[in-house]
Amino acid sequence: MRSRSMGDIIYTGVVYAFLIAVLFATFYPFWNVLVLSVNSASDTIKGGIYFWPRELSFTSYREILTDGEILHSVGVTVARTAIGTPLTVLVISLLAYPLSNRELMLRKPITLYFIFTMYFSGGLIPYYMVLKNLQLIDSFWVFILPGLMNVFYMILIRTYIEGLPGELVESAKIDGANDLHIYFRIILPLTLPVLATIALFTAIGHWNAWFDSYVFTYNPDLKTLQAVLVKILNQYQTGSMVSDAQKMADSAKRLAVSSDTIRMAATMVATLPIVLVYPFLQRYFVKGMTLGAVKS
């Protein structure tokens, strides 16, 4: 075995140092948010909290999780994610499958029609008018129906299907299987890695979405978690604008929670569910990003 030269040792050390720095820069912000969220508000105001909480307190989480509006918004967000994610994946894959067939008539014009929408849009006001004419404004389905189609994801699935052996479909047709049977029995199981990857991206998008809730819904019962958290953060950030009398009345509560601890706790509440789900889909995520990238 060849002994390592000084240059190899220095190179290895630089690489490890760089990777450790990247790991720290990636993980530390999340850790600092967690530490600040479980530290008491009165102590957080003093500053100097970096790695460990000085005074452990879960008051900020109690304020958030016992708020009826937040609990209801969590239900709306969970329902949106649970309904929107599988429907989006189903609709996109149903379009990608026929477009992967090179014998489909007008295949290229249809594909170009969808690709055109990736680069050009009518703008927010025409989009709002379309939703209004479809009676989706201030409706739960405004979170689901407009996002059922994602052209970029469709192209990913189509490319993946094109990389599958064509003999599978041909043999199924010889055995008398129709297109729906082939889609559900053959295509869906074989495209599970890329579908799981797209499902993860779609679920994250639904969970983090707040703009559509802000613009297209007025009913408080339809507000999503992110929209409610934005409102709460704005309320705490503008707390200094209230009257002195109100400040005195709320002084005891402000000693228990502050804008910083509430902000950090709200960030953790919004982030943790996705962080907990990701490990279960990680193996599909890796496969979906690599398999089918190179065709034989």
* pLDDT confidence band for 136 (50 / 70 / 90): very high
Its pTM stands at: 0.75
| pLDDT at 48 > cutoff 70 | yes
* pLDDT confidence band for 243 (50 / 70 / 90): very low
Beta bridge partners of 56: 39
Closest by CA to 275, choosing from 211, 200, 210, 193, is: 200
Closest by CA to 87, choosing from 153, 28, 33, is: 153
- What six digits make up the tokens of 18? 């760089």
What integer best gives the mean pLDDT of the chain? Answer: 82
C-beta neighbour count of 202 within 10 angstroms: 22
Residues 6 or more apart whose CB falls under 8 angstroms from that of 56 comprise 38, 39, 40
* pLDDT confidence band for 50 (50 / 70 / 90): confident
Closest by CA to 199, choosing from 83, 39, 67, is: 83
All structural domains of the chain, each given as residue ranges with its CATH number in brackets, are: 60-166+192-290 (1.10.3720.10)
| pLDDT at 245 > cutoff 50 | no
* pLDDT confidence band for 292 (50 / 70 / 90): very low
C-beta neighbour count of 115 within 10 angstroms: 13
pLDDT of 66 reads: 81
The whole-angstrom separation of Cα 21 and Cα 87 is: 40
C-beta neighbour count of 70 within 10 angstroms: 19
pLDDT of 60 reads: 82
pLDDT of 248 reads: 38
pLDDT of 24 reads: 92
CA–CA–CA angle 44, 232, 278 (5° rounding):
80
For 246-289, the pLDDT digits (tens) are: 443 444 444 455 667 877 888 888 888 878 877 776 666 655 44
Q: Say if residues 138 and 217 touch (Cβ distance below 8 Å).
A: yes
The whole-angstrom separation of Cα 259 and Cα 235 is: 9
What percent of the chain has pLDDT above 70? 85
Place of tokens 């890329």: 194
For 169-199, the pLDDT digits (tens) are: 888 888 888 888 888 888 888 888 889 889 9
* pLDDT confidence band for 41 (50 / 70 / 90): confident
pLDDT of 7 reads: 80
